[in-house]
Structure 1
Amino acid sequence: MKRIATPAPPDARAPEKGDAVTVHYVGSLATGETFDSSRERDEAFTFTLGKHEVIDAWDVGVATMRVGERATLTCAPEYAYGDRGAPPKIPGGATLIFDVELLSFKSHRDLCGDGGVMKETVREGEGYASPSAEDEATATMEAKTRTGDETLVAKTTRTFSLAANGDAPCEGVRAALLKMKRGETARVTLSEAYAEGLTTAKDGAVVELTLDAIHAVVAVNGVEGATKKILEEGEGYETPNDGAKCEIEYEKRVGGATTETKPAHEIVVGDEHVPDELESAIAMMKLNEKALVKLADGTEYTVKMTKLERAKEQWSMNNAEKIEAAEKYKTSGNDAYKGGKFARATKKYDAALKFVEMDESFSDEEKQASKKLKLSLNLNSAAVAIKTKSWMSARKSSEKALAIEGSNEKALYRFAQAAMELQEYDESRRSLKKILEADESHAEATRMLTRLKALEAHQAKKDAKIFGGMFSKIDLGYEDVKVKADEPDEEIPAPEAMPEVPAFDEPPAPDANEPFGVESV
């Protein structure tokens, strides 16, 4: 039951289902005991009308109020909290009394909050998704003057971008489509400002609008400036994983001209059967999806995936399969290294390690194979990191290799080089000395140690200049290095004098004792 305590002004509006209404209220039991009050908190309460966010009595009662109205709602238990109540404040079967004042509401039809775009749904759409500002939409529209006596745009269907600087007919149509669902038809009333581009009429326009399709546009993972637009929706939710077998067909265009057409053929994701940029986009597609892939340089691909067979997931593999998969990924990483694709090589080595890093359940024989693989993969990861001057990564991978085999020459050398570049001179020296203890004629370790000493002397010289006024001769912790502030710098061997990582397919001579080569077995 509702009793009006303070009427609303004559011109006040009433909310509709779906509107966000803001109220003040005081809730009491039939005994007069207050159990809740927004006024005491000095915090108004907002909810969506007719969406069951509050008790039924409120959805029914507030829908009859207008802004500025204050009323008492007496709520029977079946319209409140029923026999269960809401302990401890509200007992079961309680009749509740609310003093409610409707302060304001935001119409769900008022899309921009200023009355400039008012949307009325004529036919409900499908699902829950609405397009985003990055997407494109295909829509059917017809626009007339607000009086309805003049057609501004004859009924037409077109596709356009929903970006702020896109090619939507006017800002009002763009705003409406961003709030619609696929298949929805709406009648949209636009003010003059929001109808600009559609009409110059002072009273704006009325647009009959149907959202026919949403073409989601997303950035392609790992490819700067590339986007993927869905032309035809795919099926299900699965996308290809690394190693998945896919059947695709595509057309490549450069400058608007078709330069390559590939009929349906099978590829394996991760095996470089297609250009990297296209493969990255394919890895984001669903079965039977058709997409337009645009690269930053203007190159375009129209691609469709007609078959998808995902690679076996690690969790479903037995131990032998995990070792086999690790070997396969390692080989792919080595192939990428040969081709100078160091980022891909690192990715493959990391993927391979995941198959064997948790080997507690392996048999003794499997653990030996796993240990050999982990050593090899960490050494290879360190080699790639050195090649790309990623010194922290090189240090980390070398450390992991040393944890497996502490005397491994390649691991010691790579750790020493990374530590030296990170100015961790003591750590670098210790590793080099371990190499020389095992082989005092090791040419590369001797050469690196010479450079290390020169770097230390250079650093000590700089420090001596800074602290020279305090000490005539100082020891700042550099082993075998004592300098005076007025001593000249020693010449530091150029980094180019250090042996570079050789190409994968150029193994060192049998007696060269080369510590750099990537592990192939």
Structure 2
Amino acid sequence: MPGNGLIHKIRRFMNAEERLRTPSPFDHLRRQMNDVLGDGGILKEVIQSGGGPPVPHNASVLMNYSGFLEYSDEPFETTKNLKYPRMMKLGRDVTLAGLELGLLTMKKGEFSRFLFEPQYAYGDMGCPPYIPAAAVVLYEVQIVDFLDSGQVDDFIALSPVEQNEVPLSTLFEVVNTVRSFGNRCFSLSRYDNAKDRYKQAVMLLGNRETQSDAEKEGIKTALLPLFLNLSLTELRLYRPHKALKYSNKALEIDSANTKALYRCGQAYMELQEFESAQDCLISAQAKKPFDTDINSLLRKVALCYKDSLDKEKDLCAKMFRDTRKK
């Protein structure tokens, strides 16, 4: 046994000596990477190019990433096991200095590798037990999407009086960004988060003190898609009463809106108010007679309505028979 221990120590020593003589995996990577800052602290290799503008400061980024130590095949940190990676805010959710600086060089759809020296990663102390002291780390990052949320943050930080003094066009830009956040959450099936974003946008519009009829019409135009989004989100959350409320708000703005009529039909269907559902869907069908979704739901409602009436007739007949027996 002592001999085996000695052999093991000798092998470890020889492996260490061998590593000193041959380039390490990270050394090989360094040869094909670009120096981001010019000080060698952040090196980057683009594996797959993206498109559009780079990620701006204060953006919220949807990304997949994995962090590796040298000589390790398994990541010490990864989002690959998440079905829906969350949107991360630069300066708040992204806490690794090198990663944040690296993200600012990336574009939507881009996949890149980064090597971070300790001063841009976990420092001289590391992060025991996962990250050793003064460790160089490798991050593989893919940008799925990002939203420039800096303008939203600046607007929300204003007082109500200051918000009203901002040009209406700026308010619409802020609302569109908040709605885009909601749409992103919805696409990830995070319906509660989506609902909160849509309601935030509605609140920002509702707080605006409009002066002219043109401004009032602009606010209504901006509110319409938000009410439609809220209606659909509430349906996905199995809350048909609330879905109906937002559909009706949309119809108050545009009484002939087919999406709003269709959403009402869906909500009434869930509430088993088949006659009301049928009325809404027939109105929607009149606007879009060849819409497959409307026609399909209308057929379904008609069948359910007929089945409901048949059951009601059977129940009445049974009650009548029981009465006669008495």
- TM-score of Structure 1 vs Structure 2, range by shorter chain: 0.3 to 0.5
**Which of 1 and 2 has higher RCO (CA within 8 Å, sep 6+)?**
2
State the TM-score, normalizing by the size of structure 1. Answer: 0.31
Q: Tell me which protein shows more strand as a share of its residues.
A: 1
Q: Tell me which protein shows more helix as a share of its residues.
A: 2
